[in-house]
Chain A
Amino acid sequence: MGAPMAADTFPRLLTGLAATRPNDTAMQEKRYGIWAPMSWSLYAARVRDFAHGLAELGIQRGDIVAVLGDNRPEWLIAELAAQSIGAAVVGIYPTSIGEELLHILTLARVKVVVAEDQEQVDKLIKLIEDERDGRRPTEYAAMPPLLLETVIFYDPHGLEQYDHDFLRDFTHVEQVGHAWGSTRAGWLDEQIAQGSAEDIAVICTTSGTTSRPKLAELSHSNLLAMADHLTTIDPIDAKDRYVSFLPFAWIGEQMLAVACGLSRGLTISFPEDSSTQKTDMREIGPDVMFSPPRIWESMLSEVQVRIDEAGWLKRKVFGWGYDIGDKVAERKIKGQSAGGLSVVHAIADQVALRPVRDQLGLARNGHAYTGGAPLGPDVFRFFHAIGVNLKQIYGQTEICGIAVVHRDDDIAFNTVGTPIAGTEIKIADNGEILLRSASVFRGYHRNPEATAEAVDPEGWLHTGDAGYLDDKGHLVVIDRQKDVLTTADGVRFSSAFIENKLKFSPYVEEAVTFPSDHGMTAIITIDPMTTGSWAEHERLSYTTYTDLAAKAEVQDLVSEEVNRSNEDLPDGIRVKRFVLLHKQFDPDDDEITRTRKVRRNVIADRYGLIIDALARGDERIGITTTVTYQDGSKVDRTIDLRIVDLTNYREPEGRGRRPVWSGRR
């Protein structure tokens, strides 16, 4: 493998795999409790039928087909089918609604959407009917017209009674395509042969922590160059298994499931349902995994909760094994051997660590990555201690998701590693990280101004992140450039760094910090799972999230956690006051992105009153929230929040330290 790959396209790779390994499993989906496999030859055949079907519906070279749904084989069939006839695919997060959806569909001039089920179809029907009847909300009037002609669904449940003429069943499109193709022998092969590696393969929406999502165009050669560079560091081969559960609209999933998947012939597994993800993942035991910090953090919380529910013997054994694992990990990441500890470590691994990895579905895992947002160093360390080879990936959608990564024998918890092959890195005079490689994207769709801002004439991608290279050549990312703060004594620091320290507490789900005259202040949301289980343990009764967050005991608990994270911070950036918010951040309220990154500007705007009160040092703050129901009715609610002041905080006497892997002492 190697050089010629980069000159290829995904449909040609699929044709190759269907010819060389026709009966191997390309993907498997758990349905009705059974893993149902699909071979490479069936995959290719379904792609052919669907590609013909799309052509019959009028899709042409250069068009863009949107896919709106959870991860299913049909998603990839639609993607490859579109690419086979020279069209591209844009993935939309299945949780997207209203404006976001309209923005993407109109900007990309989408004519055909492949949607999963009734829920998604209902959203699209509403858009189409509103457009037809001229009922588009005035604030979206500036968007181009909606050109949507056909909606194809693959889960027909509940759609039996729908008689809209623009609706098509996925299998019906395949049948029509099959018939259409049978009279045009060789047409599709010609189309596939005509495809150029420089064509747009995928359009990924940028996560848009700052504004409305932009559509980044990634070509076949962008993505395949990235796959080549990544797999030279961490080889992936046809025997490896991968579980696909993060949205295909996210670059990370396209990167592994599609780009690495097709170039290396991975087997992709789709869980039965989001609720069975964990058990399904454990059944498969993926060799490779790439997830944003959220997933790793929630795995840690799960371990913490379950260990705390276990008996004293299990706690002791795990505590002992964890300490040994931690020591060995410390040596390993510096490229040293376990030395004298290797025998003890082998025992600790068998009795304490491997069972935990197995529960998490990581027993077979060789390469695990985190990316998309910074992961707290302590979480990082936890996974290494239990023997998971977790590495940080740094990269934007605009560079196919990866530019910098840790190497197996050279991992530092506070860096993101060193550039992958073929990638140049440069720190601009203003401290901005610049990247250049063959994977730098083609540009933003229909937005040359933004493209010119992102990529300069010499091909450098301006990431907008501030960072520096340390003396070992590792890249250290501080934060988004505009979020970098400077203390009175001139030290550059990032609020994300403080927030990650706070989020390391099992009880803290999200934290957003703001500077004030007296030090940092924070808005904190609690993790309902861990805090709820703590409350049960403490025999504290509560009803809702809002009620739980308002409990004085919970505020004391979080005070202790905040105080602990303050200990490692210089005085100027310690959190002095905080508020436990009455609700979790919700992507439907724009407070976090679909990939669960906090939108600081939205938070700052929406909770301005709280932030001001925090800065002033008020004792309480009453806020009014407007709840909008689906039918459009609105209700105002006023909630009184307590501001917790830590200026004179003293930790209660005689409290022990809790270990990393537990919420209790």
Chain B
Amino acid sequence: MRTRAYEHTLNSSTVPAGRPALEIRDIELRFGGVVALHDVGFTVTQGHIHAVIGPNGAGKSSLLNCVSGLYHPQQGSITLHTGDGGTTHELTKLAPHKIARLGVARSFQNIELFSGLTVLENLMLGRHTHMSQSIAASLLWFGPAQRQEIAHRGLVEEVIDLLSLQAFRHKPVGSLAYGIQKRVELGRALTVQPALLLLDEPMAGMNSEEKEDMARYVLDVHELAGVTVILIEHDMAVVMDISDRVSVLDFGRLIADGTPDEVKANPAVIEAYLGAEDH
């Protein structure tokens, strides 16, 4: 193996870059009398890092939960494009595990890893949807199950390399620093070989150095693997730096959608989110 290039692609989408990957149309999400999202709609383009920003309680995580199937909006549609043949899937009525099988992977704002398992084991779990051996074969392990595990380990090791997790491979996730755990979360989402990657505040609670590292990794993931990313983030500097497109939510409504420069110049955004004193 002379080359150092990765053997596996981490992007399972075959939609050509520049075409729509995810279309969100007129979403309405209510919890009883509380309207979490009202009339929200935008399009995520294949190959973009698409940021969703907004003040606390604006409905960012709710929107992500609608895409990954944890919430089912009362109205509207979310259409995922897979394959260049124009195959589409309507996500609003699907269960989360079915959406995951379509290649939508996500990381959570609060780390959702198995803290007693090692980094490697957590990442191998990300391959779960791709494993096909029966319980009996897996218990026996030798033979097909072993071969399968070795094949999946190859991909997982490339993710470890991509995210520089080598030193933590065999450490239990619970013993690791917060910034590293966030990186493992990203890794776990990547081992799914996503068609669409949803990142819910990957840099929350980090210091500026950790943030910079994480931004670097998100960019690496995007550049190396070409994965389409929907990114929820609070840190404006990071968002404006790494995103191709930004959608802004405020009180459950979409108040702006455009390139980082357009959004920065939008008066509604400045008032709602950036605050008057900043500009």
- CB-CB under 8 A from A279, the residues of chain B are 167
Closest to B226 in A: A160
Describe B's contact surface by its main secondary structure. Answer: helix
- CB-CB under 8 A from A154, the residues of chain B are 4
**Of B2, B158, B220, which contacts A46 at CB under 8 A?**
B2
Inter-chain contact B164/A33, CB cutoff 8 Å: no
- CB-CB under 8 A from B117, the residues of chain A are none
**Is B166 interfacial (CB 8 A cutoff)?**
yes
With the chains together, A119 CA to B5 CA distance in Å?
A: 16
With the chains together, A33 CA to B156 CA distance in Å?
A: 11
A275 touching B167 in the complex, CB below 8 Å, given contacts A33-B157, A158-B223: yes
**Is B154 interfacial (CB 8 A cutoff)?**
yes
Closest to B7 in A: A32
Inter-chain contact B224/A157, CB cutoff 8 Å: yes
- CB-CB under 8 A from A272, the residues of chain B are 166
A156 touching B160 in the complex, CB below 8 Å, given contacts A32-B154, A276-B166: no
Distance in Å: Cβ of B88 to nearest Cβ of chain A: 29
Inter-chain contact B4/A157, CB cutoff 8 Å: yes
Closest to A36 in B: B1
- CB-CB under 8 A from B220, the residues of chain A are 157-158
- CB-CB under 8 A from A161, the residues of chain B are 223
CB under 8 Å from chain B, chain A span 306-363: none
Distance in Å: Cβ of A154 to nearest Cβ of chain B: 6
**Is B169 interfacial (CB 8 A cutoff)?**
yes
How many residues on A have C-beta within 8 angstroms of the other chain's C-beta atoms? 20
How many residues on B have C-beta within 8 angstroms of the other chain's C-beta atoms? 19
Inter-chain contact A156/B166, CB cutoff 8 Å: no
Describe A's contact surface by its main secondary structure. Answer: loop
**Is A174 interfacial (CB 8 A cutoff)?**
yes
Inter-chain contact B157/A273, CB cutoff 8 Å: no
CB under 8 Å from chain A, chain B span 1-20: 1-6
Inter-chain contact A156/B169, CB cutoff 8 Å: no
Distance in Å: Cβ of B270 to nearest Cβ of chain A: 24
Inter-chain contact B2/A171, CB cutoff 8 Å: yes
Q: Mark A45-88, 1 if CB is under 8 A from B, else 0.
A: 01000000000000000000000000000000000000000000
A160 touching B223 in the complex, CB below 8 Å, given contacts A32-B158, A154-B4: yes
Inter-chain contact B160/A33, CB cutoff 8 Å: yes
- CB-CB under 8 A from A169, the residues of chain B are 3
**Is B274 interfacial (CB 8 A cutoff)?**
no
- CB-CB under 8 A from B166, the residues of chain A are 33, 272-273, 275-276
Distance in Å: Cβ of B179 to nearest Cβ of chain A: 14
- CB-CB under 8 A from A31, the residues of chain B are 1, 161
Interface residues in chain B, defined as those with a beta carbon under 8 Å from any beta carbon in chain A: 1-6, 154, 157-158, 160-162, 164, 166-167, 169, 220, 223-224
> 8 new A-B pairs (CB below 8 Å) besides A32-B154, A32-B158, A272-B166?
A33-B157, A33-B160, A156-B5, A157-B224, A158-B220, A160-B223, A174-B2, A276-B167
Query: Mind listing 14 A-B residue pairs with CB under 8 Å?
Result: A32-B160, A33-B160, A46-B2, A154-B4, A156-B4, A157-B162, A160-B224, A161-B223, A169-B3, A171-B2, A272-B166, A273-B167, A275-B166, A276-B167
